[in-house]
Amino acid sequence: MNNLNMDLVLFRGNGREPASNVKTFILPDKCFEKGVGCAWRNGNKFAIYPRSQTPSKTASTDVDNKILNIRQDVLLFTSILRKLVNESNGTYLLLQKAAETAKTTDNQVEFLKLSRQYRSIIRVCIENLQEALSRVQDGVEKNNLLSYITILYSIECIWHLCEILYIDNIPGDIVLPYLLEWVRFHFPCHEQTASHLLEACERGSEDHQDYWITVIGMVVQGRVDVARALMKLHSAAETNEFKLVDNSLRSMPVYSVYGGISTGEFTITWKHWQAECRSKLSSGVLSNEPKLELIMRLITGDFGAFSSIRGDYTSWYDLLGGWVMYTAPWARRHELASASAACAELGDALSNSRLDRAIRALLDGDLYQVIHEIQQMSDNGWFVTHLTDILYHCGKLRILDKHQTDVTNRLRDSLILDYGSLLMEHKSLWTVGLSYLASCPPEGLRRAELILERMPLKTEAKVMRVMAEAKKYGLVDVGVSACVCQCAVQGGVGRLGAGVAWAVRARSGAAAGRAAHAALRRYVRARRLPAEDLLLAAGPALLLHDTLLFLGKYCDFHRLYKDREFKKAAQLLVSLITSKIAPDYFWETLLLDTLPLLESDEPVFSSSDTYEIMLCLELKPAGLDSEKADLLRLALARNLARTVLSEGGENKQTEDGKTT
């Protein structure tokens, strides 16, 4: 069998972008020559095979008679990303607990904490990836790591914005300071140059090639103080033009919720300030200093100015903070749509990456679109699952289907179920997957049941662990079926004692019966009783099945016989014979076991016992061949002769009464 390792991106049909999501993979042509067949295997695997085959006599190495196993290459199963999977699982479970308590109390702070925890997990993962990147030599590996890093960067960026807009509790909903922080955090360009220049603190810093770009970058990121400090380092900083701009920057009103003035009041002051700036600009004093003029135009929120610097930045959202700051600093969370639309149209390079679209949708408040976009990211659903879950628990998610019914619940569940099932496929991560499935009852548990039942169990340690997990989530059937399987496995390798033990654990009468039959048959064949240690100490567990009980008692008989307690042994044997629960194939053994006891020096069977044995012997003619039967009849007759004589006359009368 060939294992083709492929990155299969399966088409998710939600109709928005059809063809672009379909990837084509070329399989060897010969596969298809004879009519191809396809079958699903467990998880995201399927097999492709030639449907009609002509058996070839010579063993060929061609592909035509091969089965191709095709599986999805799961990014999350790479060693570094497994840390992300495991660590985030802990946070996810904490979140479920927090959500449980949030039903009675407001728990927004807790959610924010957990959201930050998620982000720090992503950050750690990025750092790990970067460290790994610095170590690898192989080109392909390097590319892979780079693409992982890109994916995680986008995830971090979107998550942070999402946290600001939906999870964090922002005073007065004034989002600007948070937005600026977001821009600074994720697009820290120019920061280094700025600090470098400030540290050097030299007059005439404009000789540095990035001087103006840095100053403008600082203005756009809303770091007015830094921009002003940098401008002071210009050799012409004492000129009127510089002083004018510096003055304008300094006098810019900054809104603060706790500042004691109302939004309306602030708006008036701010508009007044901006009008002043505009008048300075139109007076033409700055016409000799194009860079200063640009700064003035930027702080007056001039679209053309922003457009002109767009080329210096990789994305439109680098400018988002600045745009909001200089056009509508009082903007609330839900008022960012127009800002994002304006920023997206800056410049002529219309970028339309997934990240762009996700951020646009986020600012527009269209969470459905956000989920749709991030679902397409090739992180195997890690991001979309966790983000949707936290938004759902924060109560910020409301998705309606085309009939206007609320399907938020179902959306969240389906994402978690997909993610959980994906992890269950992995040999080691199944416990993680299980905890996701278990958080979506009832369907999750049903799925878990189906997957757990099909999980290969190679060692008892794993069986016991599966049982412990099943018990934790109340999946009784899984525990039982694992035991029954293990019973069969142990029976198969001839470990009958272990087989019985597992059957007893499963409380399965049928399995116990099978194991007991196997033990009895083995005794008939090999004359060695398996699992004596177990049977003698088993106690009430033997009641699970008649045959098992019989086996236990028979074992007890052997013990008594070995201990030379012939009287007790004989009594037990007679009760075994008369109870008639012995299986047919065992009658011969059972009857012949009476022989040595019949021949013992002291008679151990009473006459009535002897009659019973005789009766059974005649009732089961198929049990013994004639020679052995005759031998036994002889022994029985002799025993009868001994016992009838020794038993008293009174006794004899009752015996007669019984037999007639």
Write down the least CB distance from residue 27 to other proteins, Å.
25
Using CB under 8 A, which residues numbered 369 to 428 contact other proteins? 427-428
Distance CA 31, CA 101 (A): 56
Distance CA 540, CA 355 (A): 65
First to last CA, the chain: 75
Write down the least CB distance from residue 116 to other proteins, Å.
17
- Contact between 584 and 613 under an 8 Å Cβ cutoff? The reply is no
**Binding mask of the shown chain, residues 148 to 187, with x at each position contacting other proteins by CB under 8 A:** ----------------------------------------
Residue selected from 27, 63, 75, 93 as contacting other proteins according to rule CB under 8 A:
93
Query: Which amino acid appears at position 655 of this protein?
Result: E
Residue selected from 296, 384, 531, 629 as contacting other proteins according to rule CB under 8 A:
531
Q: Which one, of 288, 335, 346, lies nearest residue 312 by Cα?
A: 346
Taking 3-state DSSP, the helix, strand and coil percentages for the chain, each rounded to the nearest 5, stand at 65, 5, 30
Strand 36-40, strand 2-6: pairing: unpaired
75: which DSSP letter? Answer: G
Distance CA 156, CA 149 (A): 10
Write down the least CB distance from residue 481 to other proteins, Å.
18
Distance CA 203, CA 232 (A): 8
Residue pointed to by tokens 């628990």:
393
Quote the distance between the C-alpha of residue 460 and its chain's center.
23
* Region from 88-96, 145-153, 201-209, 291-299 binding other proteins, contact rule CB under 8 A: 88-96
Q: Which is nearer to other proteins, 85 or 573 (CB)?
A: 85
3-state per-residue secondary structure call for 407-443 = CHHHHHHHHHHHHHHHHHCCCCCHHHHHHHHHCCCCH
Q: Which is nearer to other proteins, 187 or 430 (CB)?
A: 430
Q: Which is nearer to other proteins, 83 or 142 (CB)?
A: 83
Q: Does 432 bind other proteins (CB under 8 A)?
A: yes
Residue selected from 35, 90, 311, 474 as contacting other proteins according to rule CB under 8 A:
90
Total residues at interface with other proteins (CB under 8 A): 42
Strand 45-50, strand 36-40: pairing: antiparallel
Could you write out the DSSP letters of every residue in 141-171? HHHHHHHHHHHHHHHHHHHHHHIIIIIS--G
Q: Does 464 bind other proteins (CB under 8 A)?
A: yes
Using CB under 8 A, which residues numbered 536 to 595 contact other proteins? 537, 541
* Region from 162-170, 175-183, 226-234, 527-535 binding other proteins, contact rule CB under 8 A: 527-535
Using CB under 8 A, which residues numbered 466 to 505 contact other proteins? 468, 471-472, 490, 493-498, 501-502, 504-505
Tokens of 497: 């004692």
Distance CA 291, CA 300 (A): 14
Q: Does 443 bind other proteins (CB under 8 A)?
A: no
Distance CA 167, CA 389 (A): 12
Write down the least CB distance from residue 122 to other proteins, Å.
13
As a whole number of Å, the CA-based R_g of the chain is 41
Using CB under 8 A, which residues numbered 51 to 80 contact other proteins? 79-80
Q: Does 532 bind other proteins (CB under 8 A)?
A: yes
Residue selected from 113, 119, 232, 462 as contacting other proteins according to rule CB under 8 A:
462
State the residues that interact with other proteins by CB under 8 A: 79-80, 82-83, 86-87, 89-90, 93, 427-428, 431-432, 435, 458-462, 464-465, 468, 471-472, 490, 493-498, 501-502, 504-505, 530-534, 537, 541
